[in-house]
């Protein structure tokens, strides 16, 4: 049975081996989905849906979702901002 997940953190490091000291292969960014291929103590071996990379993430950073939620999310168009929406100005008098 396939297990699905989504990144609800800004960045989740994806490592070569199940160790905090292992080389970081890539990162999952907020909103990226993945499949869990294997569970090992405090680690999940995952395959990212965006780039297909495989690697290990800390299980405490893994948020599992149902297949129906995964299907629905991946069928929905995703929008990305390519330039700032609004400039932020400061009041130099304060």
Reported as a single tens digit per residue, the pLDDT across 24-33 is 999 999 999 9
- Using an 8 Å Cβ cutoff, are 64 and 36 in contact? yes
Specify the CATH number for the domain of residue 15.
Answer: 2.30.30.40
CA–CA gap between residue 25 and residue 38 (Å, rounded): 17
Residue 85 lies in a domain: no
Q: In which domain, by residue range, is 59 found?
A: 3-75
pTM summary value = 0.80
Residue 89 within any structural domain of the chain: no
Q: Are 5 and 44 in contact (CB under 8 A)?
A: yes
Q: Report pLDDT digits (tens) over 51-60.
A: 999 999 999 9
User: Which residues share a beta bridge with 36?
Assistant: 3, 46
């Amino acid at each position: 049975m396939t297990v699905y997940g989504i990144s609800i953190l800004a960045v989740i490091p994806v490592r070569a081996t199940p160790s905090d000291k292992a080389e970081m292969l890539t990162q999952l960014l907020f909103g990226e989905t993945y499949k869990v291929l294997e569970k090992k103590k405090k680690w999940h071996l995952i395959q990212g849906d965006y780039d297909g990379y495989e690697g290990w993430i800390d299980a405490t950073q893994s948020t599992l979702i149902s297949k129906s939620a995964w299907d629905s999310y991946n069928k929905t168009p995703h929008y990305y901002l390519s330039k700032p929406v609004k400039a932020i100005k400061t009041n130099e008098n304060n």
